[in-house]
Amino acid sequence: MKKNKLIAYDLGTGGIKASLFDVDGKSLAEVFQQYETYFPADKCVEQRPLDWWQGVCSATGLLLKQSGCAAEEIACTALSGHSLVAVPLDKDKNLLLDQVPIWCDMRAGDQIPKFFKDLSYEEWYPVTGNGDPEECYTILKLMWMRQHQPEIFEKTDKILGSKDFINFKFTGTICTDPSYASGFGVFNLLKWDYEDRFFEAAQISKRIFPEIRPSDSIVGYVTEEASKECGLCVGTPVACGAVDNTCMALGARGLEEGVAYTSLGSSSWIAVTSQQPIIDLKTRPFVFAHAQKGYYTSAVSIFSAGNSFRWIRDRFLMDYANDTDTYEIMNQMAESTPPGSHGVLFNPTLAGGSAQEPSPNLKGGFMGLTLANTREDLVRASMEGVAMALRKTLDILLKQVEIKGEMLLCGGCSKSAIWRRIFADIYNMPVIKTNIDQDAASLGAAALAANACGLWDGYDKIKEIHVIEDRLTPDPETNAYYEKLLDIYGEWTLALAKLGEMKTN
């Protein structure tokens, strides 16, 4: 039986997606398994690593069963994993915590002045590209663990990221790749390796961090124990994989200077591939190493996109709760309202501001309401608000890098034709949707697996896999109107930031 199939795992915040690909990068089948996120205290966001593993095992079994693919056909697997996670193992490779902090956990704020006591932020950020809030990064989380969970810290022999823990469960190998390591808070982007002085600033041993291997290298083979749990054959190769931002950048048409995409999910970001990391101390884009040395994916983000849109659905369309596709109803509502939503603006910052926005305490809201406004106006305004928030962050990238030609939209929201039109007119650039849609991260992971096992030689094939299904160019008149609204939106955002900074009674 030929080994000519690949399994890509997309380990996300909401669950695990397992996708089956053929040798040409065609997606044959996919399944999704949800797992829980826990909020044990203020600013604490945790998941259970064994839930990830159980999700991988369950998804693998379902994928093979539903596709009719035999485990013997799998040539290699690879993972895309959510970033900034700290999974502690002891010297016997036992998991030390049932639940671990994930990327958006911000409990380590009290460690920031300690980390930057003898090391300035101006020294650290340009080297690491770690532009998200400092307390999110792994090294700060470990400092918090040392202070607040000393018994766990003392037993910690190695720290792993999310996808690296699954690789360990598959193979018994402990390692990471450059892209995931670049989110640890101790990685030098230009050296492509750990930076000793950052370990010294944290007073944490470099030894507990995993060895760095190429993203498209084989890290090991499925063990007998793992085979019994997940259903893959003993000896199936496992590639090192990459962090989700890098896998998505790779799957969004590969490695090429100036290629950009917008990821439209619960949160949203715009990322561009370049041969130099995009660093700016004022606006703080966040940067990850790419799948191949010498390339980087630099991004800007907003924390509320799809989740704000869901909030609109849940608060204003409760009478459609039993409909199978409420989002399609919302699309129709938006199409019935003209650009500008009859004077209503929406700021989608319902989960706080990103590093590219005026304040982490930025509030969201509607502005310009009158008694004449309708629910349809609010729905369209919410779409326009997400696009305006992202356009403000896009301007940060455009000051430092030239985006090549067009913007690819990825993620669930990209399925909406009216939203794509809004993005084209607000971005003032061509916007495209391809057949890859929500599968960019999975395709990126599959490409890493294909290169690791020798089925591919390079990543040029990714461009051939993308088939453009829709291409929209901006309407000059509508864009001119939106540009005026963007000025108002910017001033209003500053006022909302001031509101967020006020102490409440």
pLDDT tens track for 443-470: 999 999 999 999 999 999 999 999 999 9
- Residue 78 near residue 240, CB atoms below 8 Å: yes
Q: Which residues pair with 38 in a beta bridge?
A: 46
- Residue 192 near residue 213, CB atoms below 8 Å: no
Q: Tell me the residue type at 457.
A: D
Q: Give the three-class secondary structure for 10.
A: strand
Domain assignments of the chain as residue spans, ordered by start: 5-245, 253-304+395-472, 314-389+481-501
**Confidence band of 505 (pLDDT split at 50, 70, 90):** very low
Kindly report the backbone phi and psi dihedral angles of residue 493, in degrees, each rounded to the nearest multiple of 5, phi listed first: -60, -40
Q: How far apart are CA 47 and CA 55, in angstroms?
A: 12
**Confidence band of 355 (pLDDT split at 50, 70, 90):** confident
Give the list of residues 6+ apart from residue 43 with CB closer than 8 angstroms, or none. 105, 106, 107, 109
Q: How far apart are CA 298 and CA 356, in angstroms?
A: 13
Average predicted confidence (pLDDT) for the chain: 95
Other C-beta atoms lying within 10 Å of the C-beta of residue 103: 23
pLDDT tens track for 136-186: 999 999 999 999 999 999 999 999 999 999 999 999 999 999 999 999 999
Q: How buried is 455 (Cβ within 10 angstroms: 0-12 exposed, 13-18 middle, 19+ buried)? A: buried
| Residue 90 zone, left/alpha/beta (φ > 0; ψ -120 to 50; rest) | beta
Other C-beta atoms lying within 10 Å of the C-beta of residue 372: 8
Average pLDDT over residues 331-356: 95
Q: Give the three-class secondary structure for 46.
A: strand
Q: Architecture of domain 314-389+481-501 in CATH?
A: 2-Layer Sandwich (3.30)
The per-residue DSSP string of 110-146 comes to GGHHHHTSSS-HHHHHHHH---S-GGGSHHHHHHHHH
> In 3D, which of 161, 203, 200 has the Cα closest to residue 184?
161
The reported pLDDT for the residue numbered 503 is: 64
Kindly report the backbone phi and psi dihedral angles of residue 146, in degrees, each rounded to the nearest multiple of 5, phi listed first: -60, -40
HSE toward the beta carbon, residue 348, CA cutoff 13 A = 30
Q: How far apart are CA 460 and CA 438, in angstroms?
A: 20
Kindly report the backbone phi and psi dihedral angles of residue 41, in degrees, each rounded to the nearest multiple of 5, phi listed first: -160, 175
**Confidence band of 504 (pLDDT split at 50, 70, 90):** low
The reported pLDDT for the residue numbered 502 is: 86
> Strand pairing of 242-243 and 74-81?
parallel
Per-residue b or e along 423-439, where b marks 16 or more CB atoms closer than 10 Å to that residue's CB? bbbbbbbebbbbebebb
Residues of the chain with pLDDT > 70: what percent?
99
Copy the structure tokens of residue 255. 């490695």
Q: Give the three-class secondary structure for 416.
A: coil
The reported pLDDT for the residue numbered 300 is: 95
- Residue 305 near residue 346, CB atoms below 8 Å: no
Q: Architecture of domain 253-304+395-472 in CATH?
A: 2-Layer Sandwich (3.30)
Q: Tell me the residue type at 437.
A: D
Residue with tokens 């539903």: 66
DSSP H helical segments within 130-261, as ranges?
138-148, 150-155, 162-171, 178-181, 196-202, 224-230, 244-251
Residues of the chain with pLDDT > 90: what percent?
89
Other C-beta atoms lying within 10 Å of the C-beta of residue 35: 19
pLDDT tens track for 270-329: 999 999 999 999 999 999 999 989 999 999 999 889 899 999 999 999 999 887 789 999
Copy the structure tokens of residue 49. 């690593």
Which pairs with CB-CB distance under 8 Å and at least 24 residues apart come from 255-259? 255/290, 255/291, 255/292, 255/295, 255/459, 256/404, 257/404, 258/401, 258/402, 258/403, 258/404, 259/403, 259/404, 259/408
HSE toward the beta carbon, residue 218, CA cutoff 13 A = 14
Tell me if 5-245 shares its fold with 253-304+395-472.
yes
The reported pLDDT for the residue numbered 348 is: 96
> Strand pairing of 345-347 and 365-367?
antiparallel
Fold of 5-245: Nucleotidyltransferase; domain 5 (3.30.420)
**Confidence band of 413 (pLDDT split at 50, 70, 90):** confident
Whether the predicted pLDDT of 423 surpasses 90 = yes
Q: How far apart are CA 391 and CA 380, in angstroms?
A: 16
Total residues found in the chain within this entry = 505
Cα-based distances in Å from 413 to 236, 338, 417: 35, 20, 9
Copy the structure tokens of residue 298. 């630099």
The reported pLDDT for the residue numbered 319 is: 93
